Structure 1
Amino acid sequence: NCCFSLSLKNVLDKGYGLGIASIVSAQARPASTYTAYVVRIIDGDTIYVRDTTGEAHRIRLAMIDAPEREQPFGTEATKKISELLRQGTVRLKVKCIDKYNREVAFVYCEGKDVSAEMLKEGMALHYHMNFDKCKMYDKFEAAAKRCHKGLWSQEKIEKPWDYRRKHKAQE
């Protein structure tokens, strides 16, 4: 659950090569805030944005884990985040860089916390992180669960992290 920063020295020491090093240098620093335009929706919790200088950033939304596309509600989660981000311009508050070299960030569109909106609609689960405001996000998830919204309308839910672990083991 912890995020980490991948330093340039670490990249070079581990032999990841220049391709990764150039990506690392284009990332926002943790604790930075910037405005960007959404250029691609990957799934219910991952997007690509382009900042005002033209640099591309891969963003993992903080606090949530949405169903994978192959899971029930995976497609719906992707559609919901597309709706929430239809305005296109977002404000990002980067918290850290994850192990997949994505910026983990709070994403705001039209003044709304997109992660909170995804939880309220039942399109994601609360994913606890070391900088978590647990109570607020737990309440959003609990309300959706109580109302059987989105993925909570199912009799049984497979958590996205369990789904990934199961499928990784099968590969």
Structure 2
Amino acid sequence: MRKIFYFILFLNSLLSAQIKAKIVGIKDGDTVVALLENNTQETLRLADVDCPENRQPFGKNAKQFTSSQVFGKNVIFYRISKDRYRRTIAKIFYDNDKYLSGEIIKAGFGWWYYKASKNFNLKDDEIAARNKKLGLWSDKNAVAPWDFRKKKKQHLQ
């Protein structure tokens, strides 16, 4: 039993270790490609945020915002888990501890992903961006990406 406990503790430490990387690709507003120090690439899905899909209104704007913040920059990230597509869900920090997901939400280019996030400060940031009508919040008919994906999936069936 003790060996299992220490093994789980070891795995958790691996997942939460600080990792240095350079962002070499932007797939969309909430997915980037990081070049690790060992010259391997890893696709990172941002924790706490969900951005419009590329085909949605403001999808390209979200991608451009993310690119303007981190493309070509050295970052620090923490692996949180894996998603169903085997991408690493990560918290990315850059430019003296700016939290990328938070910056996206503050600028109005993403929703606080309340289904998977416990960071309630991001909820407040989303409300502030909505009230200021920043980014996608300038569209009073903005559709959350999870609703957009659900409609698309239903349409294909």
Q: TM-score range by the shorter chain?
A: 0.7 to 0.9
Partners of 2:36 and 2:71 in 1: CA distance: 17
Of residues 95, 109, 113, the one that matches 1:127 is 113
Is 2:98 the partner of 1:112? yes
Q: Say whether 1:93 aligns with 2:57.
A: no
Partner of 2:132: 147
- Alignment partner of 1:56 out of 16, 30, 41: 41
- Choose from 102, 107, 111 the match for 2:87: 102
Q: Which amino acid aligns with 2:118?
A: D
- State whether residues 120 and 141 of structure 1, in contact with CA within 8 Å, keep that contact through their aligned partners in structure 2: yes
Indicate if the aligned counterparts of 1:30 and 1:97 stay in contact, CA closer than 8 A: no
Specify the alignment match of 2:29 in structure 1.
44
- Structure 2 contact 22–34 (Cα < 8 Å) conserved: yes
Equivalent pairs, count: 142
CA RMSD of aligned residues (A): 1.3
TM-score between both structures, scaled by the size of structure 1: 0.79
CA contact (8 A) 2:51 2:145 kept: yes
CA pair 34-86 structure 1, distance change in 2 beyond 3 A: same
Name the amino acid aligned to 1:162.
Answer: D
Secondary structure at 1:141's aligned position in 2? helix
Q: Given residue 110 of structure 2, which amino acid in structure 1 is its aligned partner?
A: A
TM-score by length of 2: 0.86
- Percent of aligned pairs with the same residue? 30
Q: Per-residue deviation at 1:165? A: 1.1
> In 2 relative to 1, CA 109–51 (structure 1 residues): closer, same or farther, beyond 3 Å?
same
* CA drift at 1:31: 1.9
Match of 2:150 among 162, 165, 168: 165
Structure 1 unmatched runs, 5+: 1-28
Q: Counterparts of 1:57-76 in structure 2 under 5 Å?
A: 57-76=42-61
